[in-house]
Amino acid sequence: MLISLVALVPLIAAATTQPSAACAKPAVRREWRELTAAEQTNYIDAVLCLKSQKSKLPRSAKSPSRFDDVAYTHMMALDVAHSSALFLPWHRAYLAAYESILQSECGYKGTLPYWDWTVDSQAPEKSVLWSSKAFGGDGDPSSTNLCIRSGPFKAWRSAFARRMCLARSFGGGSLDSTAVLYSPEAIYMLLSRSTTYDDFRSALEEGPHNNVHSAIGGDMALIDMSANDPVFMLHHANVDRMWALWQKMHPALAGSYGGDNADGTAADAGDVISLFNLIPSQPKRPVSAMLNTTGGAPLCYVYSNSVRAGIGAGGTANARRAAAEAAGDAITAEAARLARHAEPYELDAARGGAATPAQGDRGDGARLRCATRVAGHIAAQMRVGGAAFERARAREDAQCRFVHFVNAQFAGHRSHAALGRAGRAPAAVSAAAAAADAAAYEALAAAFERAQCG
Ligand SMILES: [Cu+2]
């Protein structure tokens, strides 16, 4: 594991991969909190503009607006672009089209922002995204349709797949706002330990991707409605960013593609992506054109290193502490037991709640919670069933065991997502800080793997 640590750090630290000649100056997609208030308003205004523009689809689509054209396109791609190899390249093409429509049809000058939900993972319902100046908050639990009550999209009506208000239901339908998203530590584990395209795609799609859809609930939890919520694009930009990070972390795999298509045929980089004429003048492109965000035509962008709360107060010292602790062989019996525990989500009751806060806990400012499981009925309509569902459950369990292990073994570890940091102003992460984080996460991941073998 030491070899991979040495190999990973400089790769993560590099701010960009080498752009091709066709993409000399990549645009930078930034985290929502990196935008100034004026830039955030410009983005929201551009989305509102799209909803007021006329549809460009054939009349037969019955789309009320240009924004609805975009939602329609996602609805048309349900079966080809989910639970299949095409998931990542299709959504990459879709986001690029959406970004270019905002720019060319609504005069938007910026790039598509992303939502780094790892930052809000420990209490997603408290994210700044839900402010009435941003995307508005939770749905109204007293209304049967769970319509949102605040923000610029309050009056929105969705057209596809059904005509109704914009709905949310934090906590995945339970209305108790207790969902937990994937921590930065768990995401590092997923990125660094997925060693084929298909393994990575399925782990990301069935795990964190579905977890966020489920946690927001309402439209977002319904595969045929999800693109009606403007927050969909920021979530998917982060999913796309995870793919770019994985490609950067594993250079030998960066151009790799494979697995199965939705129809059971073997996926191939020559497969053609259809956006159903969302941009009529745009040619259909193959998957191979989506494998590099700086490949040019139509992709020419990179992602920033995101934000964190309380920067400067812990990052580097934290990294040093975790690396030092992992270097010693001090794997306690309790941590080793946690690492092998058969029922990670029921651990609290078994050992008196010593190491890991319950998912509904919002008081513990130091430790991490396990990410919420995706409920069976939500996974099913996200097209995850059968063996894929069993695989997703096993990965959720492994993620939760890792969280228990970090809490038990590294009591001094203060995650950037820890709630105790939540009050601090968010600040952009430098390449050096991102590299230090990666070193700390690698130490945790390696220690976890040692304990599992012990
Ligand atoms: Cu989708």
Structure-token pair, residue 415: 């995650």
How far away, in angstroms, is 351 Cα from ligand 1 center?
39
DSSP run (H or E) holding 29: strand 27-29
Structure-token pair, residue 58: 């054939």
How far away, in angstroms, is 53 Cα from ligand 1 center?
23
How far away, in angstroms, is 11 Cα from ligand 1 center?
29
How far away, in angstroms, is 342 Cα from ligand 1 center?
32
How far away, in angstroms, is 384 Cα from ligand 1 center?
13
How far away, in angstroms, is 361 Cα from ligand 1 center?
30
**1-454: in CATH 3.20.20.70:** no
Cα 48 to the center of its chain, rounded Å: 24
How far away, in angstroms, is 362 Cα from ligand 1 center?
30
How far away, in angstroms, is 413 Cα from ligand 1 center?
35
DSSP run (H or E) holding 428: strand 426-428
How far away, in angstroms, is 238 Cα from ligand 1 center?
13
How far away, in angstroms, is 303 Cα from ligand 1 center?
20
Q: Where are the alpha helices (DSSP H) in 107-257?
A: 184-193, 197-204, 210-216, 231-249
Taking alpha carbons only, the member of 216, 209, 235, 224 closest to residue 77 is: 224
Q: How far apart are CA 37 and CA 131, in angstroms?
A: 12
- pLDDT at residue 13 in the model: 38
How far away, in angstroms, is 49 Cα from ligand 1 center?
23
How far away, in angstroms, is 68 Cα from ligand 1 center?
15
Give 261's contacts (C-beta < 8 A, 6+ positions apart): 80, 84, 85, 86, 267, 271
- pLDDT at residue 74 in the model: 97
How far away, in angstroms, is 192 Cα from ligand 1 center?
24
How far away, in angstroms, is 226 Cα from ligand 1 center?
8
How far away, in angstroms, is 83 Cα from ligand 1 center?
10
How far away, in angstroms, is 205 Cα from ligand 1 center?
10
How far away, in angstroms, is 407 Cα from ligand 1 center?
33
* pTM for this predicted structure: 0.92
Q: How far apart are CA 215 and CA 53, in angstroms?
A: 31
How far away, in angstroms, is 294 Cα from ligand 1 center?
22
How far away, in angstroms, is 276 Cα from ligand 1 center?
14
- pLDDT at residue 335 in the model: 80
How far away, in angstroms, is 224 Cα from ligand 1 center?
9
Residues of the chain with pLDDT under 50: 1-16, 174-175, 310-316, 352
Cβ burial of 430 (10 Å; 0-12, 13-18, 19+) is: middle
How far away, in angstroms, is 353 Cα from ligand 1 center?
37
User: Any idea what DSSP says for residue 23?
Assistant: G
Q: Quick check: helix, strand or coil at residue 157?
A: strand
How far away, in angstroms, is 278 Cα from ligand 1 center?
15
Cα 421 to the center of its chain, rounded Å: 21
333: how many CB neighbours lie within 10 A of its CB? 10
pLDDT in tens, 216-267: 999 999 999 999 999 999 999 999 999 999 999 999 999 999 999 999 999 9
- pLDDT at residue 260 in the model: 97
How far away, in angstroms, is 90 Cα from ligand 1 center?
8
CA gyration radius, the chain: 21
How far away, in angstroms, is 75 Cα from ligand 1 center?
8
